[in-house]
Structure 1
């Protein structure tokens, strides 16, 4: 992140305005989609960062991308236009991330990542999510990843806390203990 305070300022303002109209989650989803469109397109990223493009050219690109997002929330459209006007469009990905974190915090949610050696069945994943919710006392939104190097078990990170029950970590701890004796 280039400048945390800029992203936080715009995210907080957008959160306040979108909460007034009761559309926080819709704005969060659309803002993430908008940021993803730019992140996945090198040409569009160039438009954001390259000073050769004028403000009018950037505005045209943003208006075109806004048409790609179905039923774009008016508060988000106005924010995106403001970002163009103030030359803050390069911060859109950071603003989206900070906005999502603020929206999650306000809604009592926390995001987490679960890494396993093999794909987990849906019922096992649901039970894991339930356990993490009991531990954190918050609604947990999980993203899953498969990493065969874990050998077995589960590694879960929720917020800043890592719960590591992977076989790889257990074997590493055993190796360290055997070296000490």
Structure 2
């Protein structure tokens, strides 16, 4: 079991340094990208996490990876090197998640999910984010999802609050009202 308190310490330290340089959002994007790439490539994950490989081998792989990714924020590159050096790269997914949550809280952002039957146009997503910003009094970053089982309408979950405007829910509500009469 991964110790989340260790991941939290690395995420907090990374956020503090990234905030000092004014690059907290850029680090967040790059950290999420790197963590996702590592999770999708099993061979790379094996080389970087397997103690059968020497620290020097893992360091060389990390350096090649950082070079291949293009310009990486210096604070993120140093953190990744430190994680490899201390054999703590296994915490990277938790560090990325916690870092994103802490950066969002620091910036006054909330993350949410919008589910619809068909892909929503970008302007519709922006309008929805604006409406949710008014309701929550915080900036809302939305991730769009498509679910064909939704008959129509949209449901949005921001934090622990669900705003359900789907046709299925409306039909269910009408059914209950008619049943009560």
Task: In structure 1, list runs of 5 or more residues that go unmatched.
Answer: none
TM-score by length of 1: 0.90
> How many residues are matched?
181
Assess if the C-alpha contact under 8 Å between 1:30 and 1:69 holds in 2. Answer: no
Assess if the C-alpha contact under 8 Å between 1:34 and 1:66 holds in 2. Answer: no
Distance 1:180 1:87, change over 3 A: farther
Assess if the C-alpha contact under 8 Å between 2:112 and 2:159 holds in 1. Answer: yes
Distance 1:87 1:165, change over 3 A: same
1:168-179 to structure 2, matched below 5 A, reads 168-174=168-174
Task: In structure 2, list runs of 5 or more residues that go unmatched.
Answer: none
Deviation at 1:106, TM superposition (A): 0.7
Deviation at 1:173, TM superposition (A): 4.5
Q: Distance in 2 between matches of 1:20 and 1:103?
A: 13
Deviation at 1:179, TM superposition (A): 7.0
Match of 1:153 in 2: 153
Q: Distance in 1 between matches of 2:119 and 2:45?
A: 34
Match of 1:4 in 2: 4
RMSD over aligned CA atoms reads 2.0
Match of 1:117 in 2: 117
Deviation at 1:43, TM superposition (A): 0.6
Q: Distance in 2 between matches of 1:121 and 1:31?
A: 27
Deviation at 1:70, TM superposition (A): 2.1
